[in-house]
C-alpha cells in the first residue's frame, strides 16, 4: 500500500499514554502539541465533542508542518459520557473527587475521537472509538487517596486503567487502548482509508 513513500506519524497530543501505546505497537510517533483551546469547542454530545477536538488538534498541527507526502498527523481526544454529562479532564481535585463519588458502582461510556490527516494527499479519515467502563464501588477513603496522587487530574473522566485507577475499574466492554487514549485497531482502519498500511509505520 505504501507506494514507496517513507511514512511518519505525527501525534498532535501531549499524552504520554498515547505515545506509549504507539511505541509498544512498533510506531515511533513524533509529538507536536496543538495548543488549541479546548474550551472553545462546543458540541451536543460526547461523541461529537471528542471528534471535533481530535479534528481541530490534527488540523492545527498539520498547518504548521512542511508539505511532506509521508507525514500523517493524528489527533485524538477522549471524553467520558456519564448519565447525560460530558466529563473531560477535571478542573481540580474537588471536581475529581465529586465525579468519583457519582461514578462509583456505576458505568460510563468513554469516547475517543481519532482524526488522521495526510499533509500532501489532502486525504482525511476519522472515527470514534467507544468503550463501556464499569467502575468499582470504591470507598470515600479510596477516592481521597486516589485524588491525592494527582493521577485523575490529568485524564478525561478522572480515571485511568493503565495506572493506579486500574484497580477501581471492574471491567470494560470494548478496546482497552481506547480508554487509555488511542485505539490501535481503529487507527489501522483509518490508515487503510488513507491508502496506508499500519505496517508501513513500524520502526525498522
What residues are labeled active site? 77
* Burial class of residue 116 in the structure, from the number of CB atoms within 10 Å of its CB (0-12 exposed, 13-18 middle, 19+ buried): buried
Residue 197, C-alpha cell as written in the block: 498500511
Residue 71, C-alpha cell as written in the block: 507525514
**Using CA atoms, how far apart are residues 153 and 96, in angstroms rounded to an integer?**
7
Looking up cell 485524588 gives 147
In eight-state DSSP terms, residue 154 is G
DSSP 3-state assignment of 86? strand
Amino acid at each position: 500500500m505504501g507506494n514507496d513513500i517513507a511514512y511518519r506519524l505525527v501525534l498532535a497530543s501531549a499524552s504520554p499514554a498515547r505515545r506509549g501505546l504507539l511505541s509498544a505497537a512498533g510506531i515511533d510517533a513524533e509529538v507536536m502539541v496543538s495548543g488549541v483551546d479546548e474550551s472553545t469547542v462546543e458540541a451536543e454530545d460526547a461523541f461529537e465533542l471528542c471528534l471535533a477536538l481530535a479534528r481541530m488538534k490534527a488540523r492545527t498541527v498539520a498547518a504548521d508542518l512542511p508539505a511532506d507526502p509521508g507525514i500523517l498527523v493524528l489527533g485524538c481526544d477522549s471524553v467520558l459520557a456519564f448519565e447525560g454529562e460530558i466529563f473531560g479532564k477535571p478542573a481540580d481535585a474537588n471536581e475529581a473527587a465529586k465525579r468519583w463519588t457519582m461514578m462509583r458502582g456505576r458505568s460510563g461510556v468513554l469516547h475517543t475521537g481519532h482524526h488522521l490527516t495526510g499533509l500532501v494527499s489532502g486525504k482525511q479519515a476519522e472515527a470514534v472509538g467507544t468503550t463501556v467502563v464499569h467502575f468499582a464501588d470504591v470507598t470515600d477513603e479510596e477516592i481521597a487517596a486516589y485524588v491525592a496522587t494527582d493521577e485523575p487530574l490529568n485524564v478525561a473522566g478522572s480515571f485511568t486503567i493503565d495506572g493506579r485507577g486500574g484497580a477501581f475499574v471492574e471491567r470494560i466492554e470494548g478496546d482497552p487502548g481506547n480508554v487509555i487514549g488511542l485505539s490501535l485497531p481503529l487507527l489501522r482502519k483509518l490508515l487503510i482509508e488513507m491508502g496506508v498500511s499500519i505496517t508501513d509505520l513500524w520502526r525498522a
